[in-house]
Structure 1
Amino acid sequence: MLRRHGLFWLKTCPRLNVLQRQCVPISHLLDNRIGCQQRWYAKGRRRSLDSKKEMKPLNFSIPNYISVNKLANLLNCRVEKLIKDLTALGFQNITTTYILSKEYVELILQEYNFALPSLSTSTNIDNVYEELKSPVNPKLLTKRPPVVTIMGHVDHGKTTIVDYLRKSSVVAQEHGGITQHIGAFQIITPKSGKKITFLDTPGHAAFLKMRERGANITDIIVLVVSVEDSVMPQTLEAIKHAKKSGNELIIAITKIDRIPRPKEREKKIEKVINDLIVQDIAVEKIGGDVQVIPISAKTGENMDLLEESIVLLSEVMDIRAENSPRTIVEGWIIESQVKKQVGNVATVLVKKGTLQKGKILICGNTFCKIKNLIDDKGTPISKATPSYATEVLGWKDVPHVGDEVIQVKSEAIAKKFISKRQDLVEVQKNSSIVERLNEERALAKEHHAIEEKNEGLQKEDAAPDRDQNILPKNINYIIKCDVSGSAEAVSESISSLGNDEVRCNVISSSVGIPTESDLKMAQITDSVILCFNLGKLPSEVINNRAGIEVKQYNVIYKLIEDVTETLTENLKPIFEKKVISTVDIRESFDFKLKKKVIKIAGCKVNNGSIKKNSLVQVVRGPNDDVIFDGALSTLKHNKDDVAEVSKGHECGITFEDGFEGFEPGDRILVYENVKVPRYL
Structure 2
Amino acid sequence: MLLLTSNILQICNVVCRHPGMGHSLSRTIIPTIHSQFRHYSNRYPRNKLTRSSKNKQPKPLNFVIPNYISVSKLANLLNCRIETLIKDLTKLGFANISHNYILSREYVELILQEYNYVLPASQAAITSKNIYDGLKAPANPKFLQRRPPVVTIMGHVDHGKTTIIDYLRKSSVVSGEHGGITQHIGAFQIVTPVSKKSITFLDTPGHAAFLKMRERGANITDIIVLVVSIEDSVMPQTLEAIKHIKNSGNELIVAITKIDTIKRPKDREKAIERVTNDLISQDIPVEKIGGDVQVIPISAKTGENMDLFEESIILLSDIMDVRAENSLKTLVEGWVLESQVRKTVGNVATVLVKRGTLQKGKILLCGNTYCRVKLMVDDLGKDVIKAEPAQVVEVRGWKDLVRAGDEVIQTVSESVAKKYINRRIALQAVEKDAVTVENLNEQRREEAELQKHKNEIEDEDIKKSFVPQGPKDVNFIVKSDVSGSAEAIEESIEPLGNAEVRCKVISSSVGLPNESDFKMAQITDSKILCFNLGNLPSEVINNPYHIEVKQYNVIYKLIEDVTDILTDNLKPIFEKKFTATIDIREVFEFTMKKKLIKIAGCKVRNGVLNKNSLIQIIRGPEKKIIFEGKVATLKHEKEDIMEVSKGHECGVTFEKQFEDYKKDDVILVYENVKVPRFL
**Structure 1 length-normalised TM:** 0.92
Equivalent position amino acid for 1:134 in 2: A
Partner residue in 2 for 1:309: 312
The answer for the alignment partner of 2:619 in structure 1 is: 620
Counterpart contact for 2:13–2:93, Cα < 8 Å: no
Counterpart Cα distance in 1 of 2:595 and 2:358: 99
**Distance between the aligned counterparts of 2:10 and 2:197, measured in 1?**
48
Give the distance between the partners of 1:645 and 1:195, measured in 2 at CA.
85
Give the match for residue 665 of structure 1.
Answer: 664
Aligned counterpart, 1:262: 265
Between the aligned partners of 2:193 and 2:148, the Cα distance in structure 1 is 15
The one-letter code of the counterpart of 1:633 is A
Q: Which moved more, 1:41-50 or 1:407-416?
A: 41-50
Match of 1:512 in 2: 511
Q: Deviations over 1:56-103 (max 9, x none)?
A: 221111111111111111111111111121122221111111111111
| Equivalent of residue 415 in structure 1, options 415, 418, 421 | 418
Secondary structure at the aligned position of 1:209 is classed as: helix
Count of aligned positions: 659
Selected match of 2:456 from 448, 453, 457 = 453
Residues of 2 paired with 1:26 and 1:202: CA distance? 41
Structure 2 Cα separation of the partners of residues 194 and 82 of structure 1 = 70
SS in 2 for 1:56: coil
1:589–1:601 contact (8 Å) kept in structure 2: yes
Stretch of structure 1 that moved more, 156-165 or 90-99: 90-99
In structure 2, how many angstroms separate the alpha carbons of the residues matched to 1:25 and 1:447?
Answer: 24
Alignment partner of 1:185 is 2:188: yes
**What SS does structure 1 have at the residue aligned with 2:513?**
coil
Please name the residue that 2:631 is paired with. Answer: 632
1:29 aligns with 2:32: no
Distance 1:536 1:611 in 2: 50
1:229-628 to 2 correspondences below 5 Å: 229-455=232-458, 457=459, 459-460=460-461, 462-463=463-464, 466=467, 469-628=468-627
Verify the 8 A CA contact 2:285 2:291 in the aligned structure 1.
Answer: yes
Q: 1:210 and 1:245 mapped to 2: Cα distance? A: 14
Could you tell me which amino acid in structure 1 is paired with residue 526 of structure 2? Answer: S
Separation in 1 of the partners of 2:645 and 2:624? 25
User: 1:509, 1:662 → 2: CA distance?
Assistant: 62
Q: Which deviates the most, 446-455 or 272-281?
A: 446-455
Shift of 1:525: 2.6
CA apart distance, 1:478: 1.7
Cα 1:479–1:74, aligned 2, differ >3 Å: closer, same or farther? same
What amino acid does structure 1 have at the position aligned with 2:479? Answer: K
- Kindly state the Cα deviation for residue 629 of structure 1 after the two structures are TM-superposed: 0.9
Task: For 1:547 and 1:25, locate their aligned partners in 2 and report how far apart those are by CA, in whole Å.
Answer: 49
Q: In structure 2, the residue corresponding to 1:126 is in which secondary structure?
A: coil
CA distance in 1, matches of 2:168, 2:318: 19
Q: How far is the alpha carbon of 1:427 from its aligned partner?
A: 1.0
AA matched with 1:580: T
Instruction: Report the 3-state secondary structure (helix = DSSP H, G, I; strand = E; otherwise coil) of the residue aligned with 1:100.
Output: strand
The alpha carbon displacement at 1:569 in A equals 1.4
Q: Secondary structure at the match of 1:252?
A: strand
Equivalence map 1:34-113=2 (5 Å): 47-49=47-49, 50-51=52-53, 52-113=55-116
- 1:180–1:129 Cα change, 3 Å: same
SS in 2 for 1:114: coil
Q: Structure 1 residues 477 and 63 mapped into 2: Cα distance closer, same or farther (>3 Å)?
A: same
Gap change, CA 1:443 and 1:380, over 3 Å in 2: same
Following the alignment from structure 2 to structure 1, what is the Cα–Cα distance between the partners of residues 287 and 169? Answer: 29
Deviates further, 42-51 or 484-493: 42-51
Question: How far apart are 1:27 and its partner, in Å?
Answer: 7.5
CA offset digits 1:640-666 (Å, max 9, x no partner): 322212222232222211222222232
The answer to whether the Cα contact below 8 Å between 1:106 and 1:119 also exists between their aligned partners in 2 is no
**Percent of aligned positions that are identical:** 67
Select between 259-268 and 93-102 the one with higher mean Cα deviation: 259-268
Q: 4+ residue stretches of structure 1 with deviation over 6 A?
A: 16-20, 31-34, 39-45
C-alpha change, 1:519 and 1:263, in structure 2 (3 Å) is same
1:9 is matched with: none
Distance change in 2, residues 1:464/1:618 (3 Å): farther
Give, in whole Å, the separation in 1 of the partners of 2:9 and 2:68: 25
RMSD, aligned α-carbons: 2.5
Kindly indicate whether the alpha-carbon contact (under 8 Å) linking 1:103 and 1:120 is maintained by their aligned counterparts in 2: no
Q: Distance in 1 between matches of 2:14 and 2:159?
A: 39
598-607 or 484-493, which deviates more: 598-607
**Structure 1 residue 602, shift from structure 2 partner:** 2.5
Q: 95-104 or 42-51: which moved more?
A: 42-51
Q: Offset at 1:494?
A: 1.4
SS at match of 1:378: coil
State the AA in 1 paired with 2:17.
Answer: L
When residues 604 and 538 of structure 1 are mapped into structure 2, their CA distance, relative to the original with a 3 A threshold, is closer
Contact conserved, 1:47 with 1:111, CA < 8 A, in 2?
no
Give the stretch that moved more between structures: 616-625 or 665-674: 616-625
Q: CA deviation at 1:590?
A: 2.0
Worse-superposed segment, 349-358 or 535-544: 535-544
Task: Select 2:230's aligned residue among 214, 227, 230.
Answer: 227
| CA shift for structure 1 position 307 | 0.7
Q: 1:170 to 1:405 in 2, by over 3 A?
A: same
* Structure 1 letter corresponding to 2:454: E
SS of residue in 2 equivalent to 1:179: coil
- Report if the CA contact (8 A) 2:71-2:103 is conserved: yes
**In structure 1, C-alpha distance between the alignment counterparts of 2:539 and 2:4, rounded to whole Å:** 69
2:129 alignment partner, SS class? helix
Instruction: After TM superposition, list the pairs within 5 Å mapping 1:9-28 onto structure 2.
Output: 21=8, 25=12, 28=15
Per-residue Cα deviation, 1:423-451 (whole angstroms, up to 9, x for no partner): 11111110111111111111222222222
Amino acid in the other structure paired with 2:236: P
How far apart are the structure 2 equivalents of 1:19 and 1:30? 17
What CA distance in whole angstroms lies between the structure 1 residues aligned with 2:57 and 2:137? Answer: 45
CA-CA distance at 1:22 after TM superposition: 11
CA offset digits 1:40-67 (Å, max 9, x no partner): 9999775431213211221111111111
Residue pair 1:474, 1:503 contacting (<8 A) in 2 also: yes
Q: Contact (CA 8 Å) 1:67, 1:98: kept in 2 or not?
A: yes
1:171 aligned onto 2:174:
yes
Task: State the AA in 2 paired with 1:225.
Answer: V
Moved more, 166-175 or 521-530: 521-530
Asked whether the equivalents of residues 68 and 97 of structure 1 are also in contact (C-alpha less than 8 Å), the reply is yes
Deviations 1:531-584 (A, max 9, x none): 111122333323322222222111111111111111211222111111112222
Q: What amino acid is aligned across from residue 48 of structure 1 in structure 2? A: K
Question: Which sections of structure 1, spanning at least 5 residues, go unmatched?
Answer: 1-12
- Greater CA deviation, 25-34 or 202-211? 25-34
One-letter identity of the residue aligned with 1:339: R
TM-score (norm 2): 0.93
Quick one: distance in 1 between partners of 2:249 and 2:259? Answer: 29
Q: Secondary structure at the match of 1:125?
A: coil
| Shift in Å, 1:120 | 6.1
Q: Distance in 1 between matches of 2:565 and 2:13?
A: 37
Question: Take 1:465 and 1:424, find their aligned partners in 2: how far apart are those partners?
Answer: 38
Give ranges in structure 2 of 5+ residues lacking alignment.
none
1:461 deviates by: 5.2
- The answer as to whether partners of 1:352 and 1:386 remain within 8 angstroms in 2 is yes
